[in-house]
Amino acid sequence: MLKGRSDISSATRARDLTVRQRARLGTVKVPFVLVDPIGTVEAGVPTIGATNWAGAVSAVEHLIALGRRRIAHLAGPRHLLCSRARADGYRAAMERAELPVPEGWLRPGEFNNHSGRTELAKLLDETAASGQAPPTAVFAASDLQASGAYTCLRARGLRIPEDISVVGFDDLPVTRWSRPTLTTVRRPLHDMAAMAVRTLVRLIDGEEVDLPRVELSTRLVERESTAPLAAG
């Protein structure tokens, strides 16, 4: 029983495969496909991902177009490839618009509600203590972090989106249940899984994969948590 559970756990952690594990799979000729890998993947390993960098750029550019200039980023863990890509996209969009990123406004955390709530609370406390103007928008690296940001902002009497606009990433079902509904970057999880299965079937049939690394497009989904910054 325990052995079976261990096997299942190993399968579910496929995107965490080490170099040694991949080598063992290659030795016994077991085809595999990595979906949304955590770190850098060696050349030739079939990988299905999403355009995290481009998605982050679209989120920040959306906020800038609404007149938001002081934009903070609740980032994910530094060791995750997708987190780094989203943080790089945030920085790129800010640099392109010639907007500063004050120290501490890019805050690494975890992909959960608690991290979003506590990291935003720390940022607001730090800006108040230093006499800085607070952010007028927050781009969260995950919808769960955005949900935590909602909790923090409501506890402080700040309105979404009037005082602070919020954008998430992933387009989880919670985005449509939140109030206001969350503007977010849709990651095509269903399409990623479907392509991974198709690729795996081709590998099992002995076919070669022309494009070992594929990134499917993300898309900004505008909802109620973002709005133009009011004048005055």
pLDDT digits (tens, 9 = 90+) for 85-104: 999 999 999 999 999 999 99
- Strands of the sheet with 47-50, listed across from one edge: 34-35, 47-50, 213-216
Euclidean distance between CA atoms 73 and 214, whole angstroms: 26
Domain 52-186 fold is Rossmann fold (3.40.50)
| pLDDT computed for residue 156 by the predictor | 97
Per-domain boundaries in the chain: 52-186
**Tell me, what's the pLDDT at 143?**
97
d(CA 35, CA 193): 7
CA-CA-CA-CA torsion for 83, 89, 91, 93, nearest 10 degrees?
Answer: -160
pLDDT in the model for residue 3? 31
Q: How far apart are CA 116 and CA 76, in angstroms?
A: 10
**Residue ranges for the chain with pLDDT beneath 50:** 1-16, 232
Instruction: For residues 68 and 138, give the distance between their C-alpha atoms in angstroms, rounded to a whole number.
Output: 10
Q: What is the pTM of this model?
A: 0.82
At 90 the pLDDT is 98
Give the pLDDT score at 24: 62
